[in-house]
Amino acid sequence: MRVLVVEDHEELAETVAAGLRREGMAVDLAFDGHTALERATVNGYDVVVLDRDLPGLHGDRVCRALAEGGSRARVLMLTASGTVADRVAGLGLGADDYLPKPFAFTELVARIRALARRTQPALPPVLVHGDLRLDPARRAATRAGAQLPLSPKEFAVLELLLAARGAVVSAEELLERAWDEAADPFTQTVKVTVSRLRRKLGEPPLIETVAQAGYRV
């Protein structure tokens, strides 16, 4: 899952981003409205966590521009004010959900995951392939009942492959969906991660390499 966090308070933004990365999400940051709109237009985010009171370009205008531009990203708007009028105004601009500050991090994660599910085809809460089970909400993966010690990136890649339901997923798509914009597309990052994932999944092998196309489970 790829998320853009837009917050002008840089320390808060970095803290939120670090927590979301520990949850296995790929996170980019923007500290003002103009940068947020530029990144959201270029990159395929699943969710944009958008502070309403932004410098440069107000969060309301960013939200409206995304909605009018046909962005597939779901918008979770943050604000210091939690009045009904503010919530109604934000939702009227095209926001998909609203979370007043201060907020509990666990609630933020739950709302992001709920919004991300709306951008994807309906999937069961637990992804199953043979004796492999993946529970995204609990960040748990097992094979034949044994826990798999997956890193956040390995978990994200496996989730994307299982969600594809047998379809081939290209290395480029895995890089775009599981890594942030700092990832170098010319490295072997995806190949190395898939290799580690294969070792942890054990035998018989589950991940197939499709020549010149990508990977599938």
96: domain CATH number is: 3.40.50.2300
Point out the domain boundary residue: 87, 119, 151: 119
Assess contact for 113 and 76: CB atoms under 8 A.
no
pLDDT tens digits, one per residue of 147-157: 999 999 999 99
33 and 115 inside one domain: yes
107 and 154 inside one domain: no
Residue 181: give the domain boundaries: 127-216
159 and 142 inside one domain: yes
- pLDDT attached to residue 90: 66
Point out the domain boundary residue: 82, 98, 119: 119
Q: For strand 146-147 and strand 208-210, is the pairing parallel, antiparallel, or unpaired?
A: unpaired
33 and 54 inside one domain: yes
Domain count, the chain: 2
Residue 166: phi and psi, rounded to 5, are: 95, -10
- pLDDT attached to residue 121: 62
- Of 23, 3, 207, nearest to 13 (Cα)? 3
pTM above 0.75, yes or no: no
pLDDT interval class at 93 (50, 70, 90): confident
73 and 173 inside one domain: no
90 bridge partner residues: none
Point out the domain boundary residue: 72, 90, 119: 119
100 and 154 inside one domain: no
Q: Which of 15-19, 163-167, 176-180 has the highest mean pLDDT?
A: 15-19
30 and 65 inside one domain: yes
**How far apart are the C-alpha atoms of 48 and 68, rounded to whole Å?**
15
137 and 107 inside one domain: no
Q: What percent of the chain has pLDDT over 90?
A: 62
- Of 207, 130, 201, 135, nearest to 174 (Cα)? 207
138 and 207 inside one domain: yes
32 and 105 inside one domain: yes
139 and 109 inside one domain: no
Domain at 184, CATH number: 1.10.10.10
Per-residue pLDDT for 92 more than 90?
A: no
Tell me if residue 158 falls in helix, strand or coil.
Answer: helix
**How far apart are the C-alpha atoms of 168 and 165, rounded to whole Å?**
9
155 and 104 inside one domain: no
Per-residue pLDDT for 1 more than 80?
A: yes
